Amino acid sequence: MKSFPLEIVTPTRMIEEGEITYVRCPGMDGKFGIMANHREGIIALGIGEVKATKDGKDEYFAISGGFAEITKEKVQMLVETVERSTEIDTARADAALQRAKDRFAKAEVDEEQNIKSLERAKNRLKVSNH
């Protein structure tokens, strides 16, 4: 089975996942998958879960939006934040979700910003279950 390298880059860290056979990403218009020899392109990413298959095993990441650049050589994601499912502190994610819910109820911050905070917290909790 053909494979390709996956890199996930944030302003503060880079994850080199190595050779993978498949990656599923949260696009702005829905999920999409990439396999070897995929058509090249740049696709906007939303808040969501990335699933990468390597050696027949799936690895999950929580991301908070960005872009995926697909070339013949590799797939590189440029994202705001990334966490492996095994790195997510669920107590911290639960606390963030509660803070976002509280701010939303009190209308303390911009509604759009608060919705994104809620989405990020819910996504981190979902991904942590893998």
pTM over 0.75: yes
Q: pLDDT tens string for the chain (130 positions)? A: 699 999 999 999 999 999 999 999 999 999 999 999 899 999 999 999 999 999 999 999 999 999 999 999 999 999 999 999 999 989 998 898 888 888 777 766 677 887 888 899 899 989 998 8
Instruction: Say how far apart CA 23 and CA 32 lie, in whole Å.
Output: 8
Domain 4-85 classification at class level: mainly beta
Angle between helices 111-128 and 90-106 (to 10 degrees): 160
User: 34 - beta bridge partners?
Assistant: 23
Instruction: Say how far apart CA 116 and CA 101 lie, in whole Å.
Output: 11
Helices (H) and strands (E) in the chain, counts: 2, 8
Instruction: Say how far apart CA 122 and CA 97 lie, in whole Å.
Output: 7
Rg of the chain in Å (alpha carbons): 15
